[in-house]
Amino acid sequence: MKLTVLIDNNTYIDEYYIGEPALSYYIEDENERLLFDTGYSDAFIRNAQAMNIDLSAISTLILSHGHNDHTGGIKYLMNQYPDCNCKIVAHPDVFKKRIYNELHIGSPLAEKDVKKVMNLHLTKQPVKVSKNITFLGEIPMMNDFERRHAIGVIEESERYEDYVMDDSAIVHQGKEGFMKVTRIQDKYNPDKVWMIKRYLCGTFYVNQEIKGQKFYDRDRRMTKRMLVSIGVLA
């Protein structure tokens, strides 16, 4: 697997790409070309063009969740590549209307508008998106010490608190172990990617440090869920 960052909130001197507080990854997995999130704007497209990456060749767009810093670029992708017949894989809540402090923070496009142009596969269940990559679907809470916190509300016939149940990730199963790719940013995970390996004793745990920070027991629940979802662990 090869992962190229098309957009995030970081830029480097002498590398003249655009940055924004958002996320988009271009992923190559053997013959498959995937896009993970689209950022806020068309910046990910402009960066891809500068890198000579042809986004018209992607087969699948995976959305980590429905906030506009991850879905805002969908309309630009549709306009730039109107003949792109890719499918979108995401949680069923991804296109719901989201409000925070009376600001719209969800996808700028409604589900009905997107499905006119792209094929939608909206699922809470894990699903393979390529030979080696699985979308994890809805990830349940499996402990009582790390609760979800509401981020604004979802607006349908009435408003209710938004616990971002569509927040998901993908996992790559390769020769070196399991690579989990997620949009989550926090002080322990600035690079958003870590490696997980299976040991002969059957214990699963994170086997990598990122910028000097180790991952502890809070990641084991995610690890087990991930491995169960792709059929490695019962």
Q: What mean pLDDT comes out for the span 148-156?
A: 93
Q: How far lies 127's CA from each of 12, 29, 84, 123, 213, in Å?
A: 35, 16, 22, 8, 30
Residue 89, both tokens:
């894989």
| Pairwise pLDDT comparison (189 vs 102), residue with the higher score | 102
Contact 132, 30 (CB under 8 A): yes
Report pLDDT for 192: 38
* Helix and strand totals (H; E) in the chain: 5, 16
Backbone φ and ψ of 160, nearest 5°? -145, 155
Contact 164/151 with Cβ under 8 angstroms? yes
Helix, strand and coil percent figures for the chain, each rounded to 5: 15, 30, 55
**Position of tokens 């409000």?**
99
This prediction has a pTM of: 0.79
Other residues' Cβ atoms within 10 Å of the Cβ of residue 98: 23
101: left (phi over 0), alpha (psi -120 to 50) or beta: left
pLDDT score of 227: 53
Q: What is the pLDDT of residues 4-42, one digit of tens each?
A: 889 988 887 777 889 899 999 999 998 999 999 999 999
In this predicted structure, the answer to whether residue 186 has a pLDDT above a threshold of 90 is no
C-alpha to C-alpha distance for 106 and 109, rounded to whole angstroms: 9
Query: Is a pLDDT exceeding 90 seen at residue 111?
Result: yes
Domains of the chain: 2-229 (3.60.15.10)
The average confidence (pLDDT) of the chain is 80
pLDDT of residue 148: 83
The secondary structure element, H or E, covering residue 111 is helix 111-114
Q: Tell me the C-alpha distance between 185 and 206, whole Å.
A: 17
Q: Are 34 and 142 in contact (CB under 8 A)?
A: no
Q: Is the model more confident about 86 or about 232? A: 86
Q: What is d(CA 234, CA 232) in angstroms, rounded to the nearest whole number? A: 7
Residue 194: pLDDT over 50: no
* pLDDT tens digits for range 208-217: 333 333 333 3
Return the percentage of the chain with pLDDT > 70, whole number.
75
Written as one string, the DSSP assignment of 72-114 is TTHHHHHHH-TT---EEEE-TTTTSEEEETTEE-S-SS-HHHH
pLDDT tens-digit profile of 83-103?
888 899 999 999 999 999 999
